[in-house]
Amino acid sequence: MTHKQIQWFPGHMFKSLREIKERVKLMDLVFVLLDARLPFSSMNPELYKIISHKPMMLLFNKMDLADDNITHYYMKYYQEQGYHTLKIDAASGKNVHKIRPLAEEILKEKLAREKAKGLKTRALRCMILGIPNVGKSTLINQLSKSAATRVANTPGVTKSQQWIKLGDDFELLDTPGVLWPKFDDPKVGYHLAITGAIKDKILPEDDVVFYALEYLQRFYPDRLKKRYGIEATMSLEEMLETIGKQRGCLLKGGELDLARINQIVLTDLRNKQLGGLSFDRPHDVSV
């Protein structure tokens, strides 16, 4: 299978990057929301360049959809790079309550220095960043529990960014999801497509499903066998035929309905029907 380089960067994302660069100087801490299934592919290198001088907390969202062993590896890897990490599930609220105490712990020394200088106690200012569809809105809803209000007199309130007040001593700047101009490693594009981080039309659906099945055959053959009855030695064509016959995805004359097969596989992948899966592996980063 030939992998292509993907270039996709809507104009509004350039604008978003400029705004983030302007606002990050106001921040005490930056939350970077990662997809726990893609702890490397969802780490936007363009954003990293802008925020690398600020304290950062990496939040591994959708933890229950990921392979926990891989998540643990990446958390340890990023901790060794100097990041603070926490795995969460914004949809269910799991571990979300740990975010604020960890933020306060990270900023404890900075706040102590400000207090020693006689500066007035103020609200913590944090920014939340992440690629599209990683769960930022869901996380913000969990943090605010519908009590969030826009802080209209705070710099940065625009159509694309808004400050959210989480109590008197904690303010959060929401930002739009930002991808990057191109994915030099084609695997990154396929991983983002499999999990729905980029729209299905960006890459040919057949290619995405082919990649996913080959990946599962290599790293999770037991899941394929349990879900679809696929054997580890089957060719791609045999895998598609097995799924098609099992799920009744046949057109007149017995031809496979590939469009339906694609949707079945993608839906299963995204809804944990094949168990917790991670699409970035330890060998994708150099330790």
Query: How many angstroms separate the CA atoms of 182 and 168, rounded?
Result: 40
* pLDDT given for residue 151 in this prediction: 40
Which residues is 218 bridged to in the sheet? none
Instruction: Report whether 203 contacts 21 (CB < 8 A).
Output: no
Specify the CATH number for 6-174; select among 3.40.50.12500, 3.30.300.30, 3.40.50.300, 2.40.30.20. 3.40.50.300
pTM of the model: 0.85
Instruction: Report whether 164 contacts 174 (CB < 8 A).
Output: yes
* pLDDT given for residue 153 in this prediction: 34
Instruction: Report whether 179 contacts 133 (CB < 8 A).
Output: no
* pLDDT given for residue 168 in this prediction: 74
* pLDDT given for residue 103 in this prediction: 92
Q: Give residue-wise pLDDT tens across range 172-186.
A: 888 766 665 556 678
Tokens at 153, concatenated: 């007199």
Query: How many angstroms separate the CA atoms of 194 and 125, rounded?
Result: 34
* pLDDT given for residue 280 in this prediction: 94
Fold of domain 204-284: Conserved Hypothetical Protein Ylqf; Chain: A; domain 2 (1.10.1580)
* pLDDT given for residue 246 in this prediction: 92
* pLDDT given for residue 159 in this prediction: 43
List all residues 6 or more positions away from 65 whose beta carbon is below 8 Å from its beta carbon: 36, 37, 270, 272, 276, 277
**Where exactly are the structural domains of the chain?**
6-174, 204-284
Would you say the C-alpha torsion 186, 192, 197, 203 has a positive or negative sign?
Answer: positive
Kindly give the parts of the chain with pLDDT less than 50. 2, 147-159, 287
* pLDDT given for residue 4 in this prediction: 52
127 φ, ψ to 5°?
A: -115, 140
> How far, rounded to the nearest angstrom, does the alpha carbon of residue 104 sit from its chain's CA centroid?
24
Helices (H) and strands (E) in the chain, counts: 11, 8
